[in-house]
Structure 1
Amino acid sequence: MPVYKDPNAQNNKWYYSFSYKEGGKHKKKLKRGFKTKKEAEAAMVEAKDAMNKGSYVEPSKTSYGEFMITWLEDKRTSVKESTYLTYKNLVNNHILPSLGNIQLGKITPRDIQSLYNSIKIDEKLSSENLRKVHTVINDSLNKAAKWSMILQNPAQLVDAPKVIKKEVEVWDQDDIKKFLKVAKGSRYFNAFLLALTTGMRQGEILGLRWKDVDEENQTLSIVQTLSHKGQQLSVGAKSVAGNRRISIDENTLKELIKVKTTQKKEMIMNRPVYNEDNDLVIRTNTGAPLSPRNLLRSFYSCIEKAGVKNIRFHDLRHTHASLLLKQGVNPKIVSERLGHANVRITLDTYSHLLPNLQKETANEFGKLFYGNN
């Protein structure tokens, strides 16, 4: 088989080379950058098969940078603005500086792997965002392959970077009591309370409207979110599963209702400068959406005053989930409250709690099975 080690490449990567006839002329096909001999052979067989079937694609000479301009434009029409901005940042700041000048048809698995290695070694991105880099590259090159601009997607020959899970930080009940006692004096107390009692995400809390609050049935409907920068209210949650209805306890509902009276007074007092009424439960004294930055400033100030463990706002969501699981609530119910796509995500995220839960379950089963003997 005409497959060889490349003496000029790092770690002697593999390449294939073979001759073929086209239009009465003899030509040579060469492709470099394969990690193993097996990958090079498989790619060569695919190329030869495509030629025999008349479906071979001559790789495009368009640069990856040029292609990504249109890919981003197309992507903007199918994803949320926040997702688009994340992709745009990754493309412009991390992907194109390394791959942008390479022709689409000349990008190799080695080029892509080298990019991942560089990002990881220099700690330019978290493992989660490095995985997003792979998602962007793989998706874009899949489209290039579908549009017959390249023969195959080289990113499919590169292992997706592993995500290193961060340890979940949570508060215990004593921490919660200390924090809420201090936070009671904050204008944004209800935002903190909702995070702890419902597990809602920050954007979901700041996008919650009064018409989404069903006082009679004690439920909240998650159908709108505020962007991370606080500049855009968007219909729909983070995912399909995120659009959900959450039951809330009576005390939390009472705390929410108290705010209604205050907001009506503010609307009258500040009418000349009052913003368009967005019907928001959490808002500024002029009716505008609350900036996430201001929410976090208040949050960390309350943490410092309360003298409790410093955690992220998102960890209030984790705290809610951990309390439910420790109480023996079915993980499927916890998953539904959090808006996870499936219960597997919930179990993976809070797996550190499961050993204790297993022990408690075993003890309870033992009491039932053996009785008091």
Structure 2
Amino acid sequence: MYSTLARKHISDSDLGRSSLDRLTPRKVEAWVAGLRAKGLSESTVRSTYTVLRAVLDTAVRDRAIAENPAAIVKRPKVTSKEATFLQAHEVTDVIRHAEGSRYALLFQLLANTGMRRGEALALRWSHVDMTNGTFRVVGTLAREEGQLVVTDTKTAKSKRPFAMTEETKAIFQALRDRQREEREVAGSVWIDSGFVFTTELGEPCDPRNALRAFKVAATKAGHPDAGLHTLRHSAASVMLSKGVPLKVVSELWGHSSVAITGDIYGHVAPTVAADAMRTLSGAYSS
């Protein structure tokens, strides 16, 4: 992602074509303003600025410039937005409308774990321990320059283990059984990629196809604005509304800090807080 941002928004810009000794904080500010003028999202502008700053930090290290002009410029902000989510019965309805889709099992896994789409699609059978009932996120599958590649996780904490429930264990078993059948049908053209989620020929699944399939199911269920990340948000909302501590959700979701979890899922806080107050009052009256 960083290399793509660098090519599209740094190298191919007036700033990118400038010599290091001509870079100034004012030029960096003008460049950031230009990114916003293009209509780029706040997160994309911030990420691109982060790439530029890292590049110029290296230039300072190598003594190509005395100081980093980007470091003097205020980091572009990203406005925190509460996540949209579906109620538990609505998630169930969307998954029901996905029956028959190749990606129905993916949707079930996302709803039951809160994993990111790319994390689930990057799973390999070597990351799944059916005997001990655990599996582990170690990377994310994405399309870069036309190729599907497994890259590092979003944050260091995103590399995390999961304990299987009866539901997730059944999902993995269904996936294994389906692969076994498809391997027999494909014969010599089967590609033993080792991925958990594969095409009929054993290749990794394209994240874009998974999104398209979900949008079809969500639209049929009456939720045309829902995306795959909605399943992640919905799972977190269910956990928090059922009293699971914010710290636990933060760890399971692989957030770098509990503050991020609180910002994203602040809409659940009033319900949780009300339950907490009732628990406290009940303790004194019992």
Relative to the length of structure 1, the TM-score reads: 0.71
SS in 1 for 2:147: coil
Relative to 1, partners in 2 of residues 1:233 and 1:109: Cα closer, same or farther, differing over 3 Å?
A: closer
Once superposed, what is the RMSD of the aligned Cα atoms? 2.1
Aligned with residue 226 of structure 1, among 125, 137, 141: 141
Match of 1:245 in 2: 161
1:363 positional shift: 1.8
Residue 175, structure 1, aligned to residue 175, structure 2: no
Give distance in 1, aligned partners of 2:16 and 2:101: 48
Please give the secondary structure, in 1, of the residue aligned with 2:174. helix
- Choose which of 257, 269, 278 in structure 2 pairs with 1:354: 269
Q: What SS class does the counterpart of residue 46 from structure 2 fall into?
A: helix
Contact 2:32 2:45 in 1 (8 A): yes
Say if 2:240 is the partner of 1:321: no
**Which residue does the alignment assign to 1:75?**
none
Between the aligned partners of 1:310 and 1:361, the Cα distance in structure 2 is 32
**Structure 2 counterpart SS, 1:270:** helix
Give the aligned partner of residue 55 of structure 2: 140
Q: Which has the larger radius of gyration?
A: 1
Determine the C-alpha separation between the residues in 1 that align with 2:17 and 2:194. Answer: 49
Offset of residue 309 of structure 1: 4.8
Deviations 1:307-366 (A, max 9, x none): 235212122111111111111111221112111222222122212322332222112111
Structure 1 residue runs of 5 or longer lacking an equivalent are: 1-81
Aligned match of 1:272: 188
Partner residue of 1:105? Answer: 21
Aligned to 1:332: 247
Instruction: Tell me, yes or no, if structure 1 residue 86 matches structure 2 residue 16.
Output: no
Instruction: Report 1:2-17 matches (<5 A).
Output: none
Q: Report the counterpart of residue 196 of structure 2 in structure 1.
A: 281
What residue ranges of structure 2 are gaps of 5+ in the alignment? Answer: none
- C-alpha change, 1:101 and 1:268, in structure 2 (3 Å) is closer
What letter matches 1:110 in structure 2?
A: R
Task: Give 1:233 deviation, angstroms.
Answer: 4.1
**Post-superposition offset of 1:282:** 1.2
Q: What pairs up with 1:67-216 in 2 under 5 angstroms? A: 82-93=1-12, 97-120=13-36, 122-216=37-131
The alpha-carbon deviation at position 296 of structure 1 amounts to 1.4
Report the secondary structure of 1:220's partner residue: strand
Deviation at 1:190, TM superposition (A): 1.1
Does the 8 A contact of 1:175 with 1:309 survive in 2? no
CA 1:131–1:236 in 2, change beyond 3 Å: closer, same or farther?
closer
1:217 to 116, 132, 147: 132
Task: Specify the code of the residue in structure 1 equivalent to 2:161.
Answer: R
Q: TM-score, normalised by structure 2?
A: 0.91
Match of 1:307 among 198, 222, 241: 222
The 5-angstrom pairing of residues 44-63 of structure 1 reads: none
Shift of residue 123 of structure 1? Answer: 4.2
**1:111–1:344 distance in 2 versus 1, CA, 3 Å:** same
Q: Secondary structure at the match of 2:126?
A: helix
Question: What amino acid sits opposite 1:88 in the alignment?
Answer: R
Is 1:190–1:282's contact at 8 Å kept on the other side of the alignment? no
Deviations 1:113-139 (A, max 9, x none): 12222322x243111111122212222
Higher relative contact order (CA 8 A, sep 6+): 2
Match of 1:256 in 2: 172
Between the aligned partners of 2:71 and 2:223, the Cα distance in structure 1 is 46
Task: Tell me the CA shift for residue 145 of structure 1.
Answer: 2.3
- Structure 2: how far apart are the matches of 1:326 and 1:228? 35
Q: Distance in 2 between matches of 1:258 and 1:252?
A: 10
Please identify, of 229-238 and 98-107, the stretch whose mean Cα deviation from structure 2 is larger: 229-238
